[in-house]
């Protein structure tokens, strides 16, 4: 029974965290003057669909970063709440790094601790420089300022290929151990970006789109895609 309750609580924490992640994308998009049609949640993530709009490369990078930023803020808040609840006050700063955290002993403490770990993990995964994660857009914006958009896309694609291979190794090792695991990023979009085999070989996907185009935003990070 306890396992069932913990599984349910984890699922709720996951979907709430993903929803707030997507909501942060929506907020950042509105700051750029781009409206939102809807947010959809799936088993392993979510998507935010934006209305027509145009944003600069920097604007799309900020929209992408808003999601992981929300997760790390949530992780910090939940971890702080956990320590305030279970640790004896006052807490010495050096003890936070020199000793392991106290183990949760009830459901509320477990929720706070798992919620903090979950959001920290979502931040780490989403900030990776690989398509279609949020980190791909952030990295491409930063790299394009020095190397140009085409080279930047290929660099991010190469990083994504390496990470997707490591992902396969981890998933295979987990499967051998009897654990079913899913991890980003996917191999195919990163291989295409690395080879420069998008719609136009000389022009990788760009964050700015024409005002009369419909935009689909992939909340896990991806570039806007015309419908």
Q: What is the pLDDT of residues 25-83, one digit of tens each?
A: 999 999 888 888 888 888 777 888 887 777 788 888 999 999 999 999 999 999 999 88
Per-residue confidence at 212, pLDDT binned at 50, 70, 90? very low
Confidence at residue 215, expressed as pLDDT on a 0 to 100 scale = 45
Share of the chain above pLDDT 70, in %: 78
**C-alpha–C-alpha distance, residues 21 and 120, integer Å:** 12
pLDDT per residue over 139-151, tens digit each?
A: 999 999 899 989 9
At 56, list the tokens.
């600069």
Q: What pTM, to 2 d.p., does this model score?
A: 0.77
Nearest to 203 by CA among 130, 151, 137, 145: 151
Helix (H, G, I), strand (E, B) or coil at 180: coil
Pair 60, 207: CB distance under 8 Å: yes
Confidence at residue 88, expressed as pLDDT on a 0 to 100 scale = 59
């Amino acid at each position: 029974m306890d396992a069932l309750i913990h599984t349910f609580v984890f699922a709720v924490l996951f979907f709430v965290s993903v929803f707030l992640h997507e909501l942060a994308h929506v907020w950042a998009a509105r700051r750029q003057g781009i409206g939102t049609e809807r947010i959809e949640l799936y088993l392993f993530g979510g998507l935010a669909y934006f209305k027509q709009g145009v944003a600069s490369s920097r604007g799309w990078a900020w929209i992408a970063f808003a999601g992981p930023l929300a997760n790390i803020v949530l992780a910090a808040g939940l971890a702080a709440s956990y320590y305030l609840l279970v640790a004896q006050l006052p807490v010495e700063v050096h003890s936070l790094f020199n000793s392991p955290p106290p183990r949760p002993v009830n459901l509320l403490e477990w929720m706070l601790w798992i919620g903090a770990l979950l959001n920290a993990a979502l931040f780490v995964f989403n900030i990776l420089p690989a398509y279609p994660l949020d980190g791909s857009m952030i990295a491409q914006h930063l790299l394009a300022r020095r190397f140009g958009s085409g080279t930047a896309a290929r660099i991010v694609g190469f990083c994504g290929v390496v990470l997707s291979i490591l992902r396969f190794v981890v998933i295979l090792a987990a499967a051998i151990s009897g654990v079913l695991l899913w991890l980003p990023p996917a191999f195919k979009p990163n291989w295409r970006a690395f080879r420069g085999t998008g719609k136009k070989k000389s022009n990788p996907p760009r964050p700015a789109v024409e005002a009369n185009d419909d935009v689909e935003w992939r909340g896990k990070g991806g570039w806007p895609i015309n419908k």
